[in-house]
Amino acid sequence: MRSTEVTETSAEIKKRVDRAREIQRERFKDSSTLCNSKINAEQFEKVCVIDKEAERTLKNSFEKLGLTARAYDRVLKVARTIADLDESEIIHSDHVLEAVQYRSLDRKYWSAGG
């Protein structure tokens, strides 16, 4: 709470979220898909364009964490949304790392029996 790090205001965050939603509306305007979480297998390769460094990061993360193929799709969909928040057409390594962190938290706090 005493950090000197500059943070975004709620209004700035809302503006980025609204812009990311607009990007997704435009991306899916000619389909029944409404948002990144609903990307189907046919759309996946076109929508989730990932650079080489991000690909390596994703592979290393999955090997270290022992994540499943199903988790791979979920992580990439979250990374796509994080990239949208950055207004980036390409998913980069930092987007993947953030998405993997969320997946790790999900496993830690919402796993069976937890």
Residue pair 79/99 in contact by the 8 Å Cβ criterion: yes
Which of 36, 26, 10, 35 shows the shortest CA–CA distance to 95?
A: 36
Alpha carbon distance 102, 104 (integer Å): 5
Average pLDDT value for residue range 65-74: 86
Which of 105, 75, 106, 68 shows the shortest CA–CA distance to 93?
A: 75
pTM of this structure = 0.85
Domain boundaries, the chain: 10-110
CATH topology of domain 10-110: Helicase, Ruva Protein; domain 3 (1.10.8)
Per-residue pLDDT of 20-40, as tens digits, reads 999 999 999 999 999 999 999
- Per-residue confidence (pLDDT) for residue 114, from 0 to 100: 43
Residue pair 47/76 in contact by the 8 Å Cβ criterion: no
